[in-house]
Structure 1
Amino acid sequence: MQTPETVVLPLLQHIGAQCKPVVKPRQIVRYGEVVGVGRAFISASLHSPVAGKVKKIGMVTLPNSMHLPAISIKTEGDQINPQRLWDEMTAMDWPRDCISIYAPETIAKIIHNSGIVGLGGAAFPTHVKVAPNDSRMIDTLLINGCECEPYLSCDDRLMREAPKAIVTGALLAGRAVAAKEIVICVENNKPEAILKLQQATEKTLIKIAVLKTKYPQGSEKQLVKSVLGLEIPLGGLPSDAGVAISNVATIASVARGVIKEGPLTHRVISVSGRGIKHPKNLFVPIGISMGEVIEYCGGITEDAARIISGGPMMGFAFSDMTTPVTKGTSGITVLTHDEISDEQETSCVRCGRCVDACPMNLVPTRLALAARYNNPSIAIRYHINACFECGCCTYVCPAKIKLVQLIRTGKKLVAAMAKS
């Protein structure tokens, strides 16, 4: 997509502390200029995807209901050609012989300065994952190409079109964490991506792991289990098992950030679903409105019923078309009336289907009841924060109970209790 007339940049597009604005209204900014600084360790800086003038620092509400300050920038003057950025990403001449000139600390610092976060949806600051740490030894770096959420295919397209950028980024990240082994993980429903990556990894130590297509294969703990056979206990992290994990789009951005000195200003998103007239994968500037993206795809169909930021299992429904694309926006899914269940919620019959479906072996009904009856202590007892909101429980529930939505409410109750 071409550069829009205005971009809106929320100051929190990542897990962690909100970044601080370093621009003022009516200030002229260049493409790639820092407009928000992430001063905390778990934070990420924000860069302008356009050249223009700062309009204001107002407020914006994201699909996940977060109400945040945001910087609006009106485009002015000469703009960088987004085609040039995409051509850089898909180039066939990504270097590998220069990897050793970068010290691990330098790689982590460049990633931090580039504002790179996890582009698979979680948006965790990438420099934290790759920062050298003597007390946390990493044996294996997994590059996650398991895009298992229905309708989304942006990572698949990126693996097909920019495999060498992914390989270079994987080598850089592997050097940063001193990994002994690097594995790119792809599901078996992506044969072209597998072939392209196999060709791109020739004469490297990177391995390709072809995994069974199943949901949610791309979840960190499930990925570690599938590839390495390791169990990560509740409350644990992949790093506890000597594993670091990063998404393929994130790793491509690492390559561009380190080699090309380019900050994270654009990303690939999927615009899909039966309710969109012309589904596409698009390379868009961060901060463009969802409405402009949908319009570029021909708009929605007459039977469109719900617009979701992300995929249908883990995404958030929204209706405000001025909502901006953020670093964590993996796609826009538009569902039709035929795809949405309008059945009324009934009483839980204790059938246990949600328990069987939960990949984390939790008891979703207990968590939902704890949230419904405002009891965060029970929610903590049943490990509510271990839930990564995959939506499997809601999908299989015969009573049509909105389990994921209740669990999200429960997490907010737990967070509020922790602050009090």
Structure 2
Amino acid sequence: MLWKTVRGGVHPESHKALSNTAKIRRFPMMERLYVSLQQHMGMPASPVVTVGERVLKGQPLALAQGPISAPVHAPTSGRIVAIAEHTAPHPSGLPVLVVTLEADGRDQWIMRDPIADPFSVSPEVLCERIGEAGIVGLGGATFPAAVKMNLSLQSGIDTLILNGGECEPYLSCDDRLMREAADEILRGAELMRHAVQARRVIVGIEDNKPEALVAMKAAAERLDVSIQAVPSGYPMGSEKQLIQQLTGIEIPAHSRAADSGILVHNVATAYAVAMAIDQGQPLISRIVTLSGGAVTHPGNWEVPLGTLASEFLNHASGFDMKPARLLMGGPMMGIELPDLHVPIIKGSSAILALTEQEISHQQSSPCVRCSRCVRACPMGLMPLEMAANIRSGDLKSANKLGLSDCVGCGACSYICPSSIPLTHLFNYAKGELILQAKERQKLEATKILAQRREQRMERQARDREALMAARRAAAAQKAAAAEQAEQLAQEASA
């Protein structure tokens, strides 16, 4: 097949063979699970259980609040022992609200309600059920799937793309899932096609996953689904790059894929949709890659959400040596963990324990003007010029150069021979611009409130003056009437 030309990208060493050879294993249930209420983009879920309450597997622990949110469910049966803050899986280490569930060992399900004939119900009903199951984008973005599908249904979608790229080094959870659950993934694709009324379905899989390609093509033989290989490279799994490779359509800046009639979901998301519709099973576990040079037994496990990363690593493998860096997700776009006392969440595609040899400690040095970052940028930006403006404090100029179009893939930082932390600079600048925008909004809101207060004070002053004038007029009228009455009385007596 002839590959389409996709701009930029890099080819880091994959390290996937560390974890992709063994079948997915089911991780045992721990005594306590720490189920975060913020496992998705948008507003955190709002708890609907109380401390001391007994819950069943699959029972909602917290419901979505706001237009962009998702519910969370109990990964097993047991008793709620706490609803309190716990360290979040984030570099800041800041806490989030967590429901602590003490497992009772029974693993007793709630009464499940699968849809017997999902293609006979309306797309809206399917989207609603997917939302109730708490399904989010499992490729890492964690955007609530039902919200994305509802928006796509309203705007009209021609093509549904399943992303099986998995271009991040070390990660192999999607690869193993495609090898072992191809039928379920494609079942989910068909259900999602009906939910958004898409005309066609394409599955894009990197060509460095031959076993997954074979399994998916075999499962798609009697389906109207196209399985296509795409060239391996980073960030081929990025939405815009995958769309361009598969369809030839380049998504414009500041535009959504849905505006071009395309919806992209991860293959693991499609699997979760099949489980929710056909089995009545909400999203309570996910496949997690455990890998890195410091790990004794790399592999992939189906892990209950809320399992502590420390328990997962210790029970599944252990260390060959002390890790130099701990990551949740891939080495390009994953997050560095302060420690392992954090729970597995819906977006936890991997736990990586990397050695000193696997990470770079090279100090940054002045730019040598090699332009490798420009050639590597998949969005066609000028990373060096943006970084220079950011360092000089000129965020406005950096934004004019396309800072908002940066997808944070890290390709520029990876390829830079001077080890300049370009991606960190861009993330910092984006955060500062967001803060500045919020400050402007706050000042504008304050200005509007001040204007409204001034108008209200003026209106109240006018009302008071009118009232006083009316009272003075009434008093004058009363006095005139009294004087007239007195004159009449005097005339009568005379």
Residues of 2 paired with 1:244 and 1:345: CA distance? Answer: 39
Q: Partner of 1:73 in structure 2? A: 100
- 197, 209, 213: which is aligned to 1:190? 209
The structure number with the bigger radius of gyration is 2
Q: Partner of 1:85 in structure 2? A: none
Q: Partner of 1:165 in structure 2? A: 184
Contact 1:132 1:176 in 2 (8 A): no
Letter in 2 for 1:277: T
Contact 2:323 2:354 in 1 (8 A): yes
Q: Partner of 2:72 in structure 1? A: 46
| Structure 2 residue 252 is matched with structure 1 residue 226 | no
Residues of 1 paired with 2:62 and 2:389: CA distance? Answer: 38
Contact 2:32 2:103 in 1 (8 A): no
Letter in 1 for 2:307: I
Contact 2:76 2:108 in 1 (8 A): no
Q: Partner of 1:89 in structure 2? A: none
Cα deviation, residue 348, structure 1 = 2.3
Give the match's secondary structure for 1:141.
strand
| Structure 2 residue 51 is matched with structure 1 residue 25 | yes
Residues of 1 paired with 2:331 and 2:376: CA distance? Answer: 17
Report matched runs for 1:213-292 at 5 Å: 213-292=232-311
Report matched runs for 1:308-327 at 5 Å: 308-327=327-346
Question: % of aligned pairs identical?
Answer: 37
Query: Once the two structures are superposed, what CA deviation does each residue of 1:303-329 show, in whole Å capped at 9, x if it has no partner?
Result: 631111111111111131111111011
Residues of 2 paired with 1:388 and 1:170: CA distance? Answer: 26
Residues 265/399 of structure 1: CA separation in 2 closer, same or farther (3 Å cut): same
Query: Once the two structures are superposed, what CA deviation does each residue of 1:168-203 show, in whole Å capped at 9, x if it has no partner?
Result: 100000011111100111111112111111121122
Letter in 2 for 1:164: D
Letter in 2 for 1:288: T
Q: Partner of 1:119 in structure 2? A: 138
Q: Partner of 1:401 in structure 2? A: 420
Cα deviation, residue 40, structure 1 = 1.8
Query: Once the two structures are superposed, what CA deviation does each residue of 1:85-113 show, in whole Å capped at 9, x if it has no partner?
Result: xxxxxxxxx99x93422310011000110
Q: Which runs of 4+ in 1 moved over 3 A?
A: 132-135, 366-376
The answer to which of 64-73 and 236-245 deviates more is 64-73
Cα deviation, residue 373, structure 1 = 4.8
Contact 1:379 1:414 in 2 (8 A): no
- 22, 34, 40: which is aligned to 1:8? 34
Q: Partner of 1:341 in structure 2? A: 360
Letter in 2 for 1:347: P
Query: Once the two structures are superposed, what CA deviation does each residue of 1:317-372 show, in whole Å capped at 9, x if it has no partner?
Result: 11311111110111012211112221111122333211111101122234434544
Letter in 1 for 2:84: I
Residues of 1 paired with 2:37 and 2:397: CA distance? Answer: 33
| Structure 2 residue 61 is matched with structure 1 residue 35 | yes
Residues of 2 paired with 1:367 and 1:206: CA distance? Answer: 41
Contact 2:40 2:70 in 1 (8 A): yes
Residues of 2 paired with 1:406 and 1:384: CA distance? Answer: 10
Contact 1:99 1:171 in 2 (8 A): no
Query: Once the two structures are superposed, what CA deviation does each residue of 1:254-279 show, in whole Å capped at 9, x if it has no partner?
Result: 01111111110000010011121110
Give the match's secondary structure for 2:275.
helix
Give the match's secondary structure for 1:304.
coil
Residues of 1 paired with 2:386 and 2:76: CA distance? Answer: 44
Give the structure, 1 or 2, with the largest relative contact order (CA under 8 Å, sep 6 or more).
2
The answer to which of 175-184 and 3-12 deviates more is 3-12
Contact 1:367 1:382 in 2 (8 A): yes
RMSD: 2.1
Q: Partner of 1:62 in structure 2? A: 89
Aligned length: 408
Q: Partner of 2:226 in structure 1? A: 207
Residues 235/254 of structure 1: CA separation in 2 closer, same or farther (3 Å cut): same
Residues of 2 paired with 1:184 and 1:81: CA distance? Answer: 36
Cα deviation, residue 376, structure 1 = 3.9
Q: Partner of 1:419 in structure 2? A: 438
Letter in 2 for 1:147: E
Higher helix residue share: 2
The answer to which of 220-229 and 346-355 deviates more is 346-355
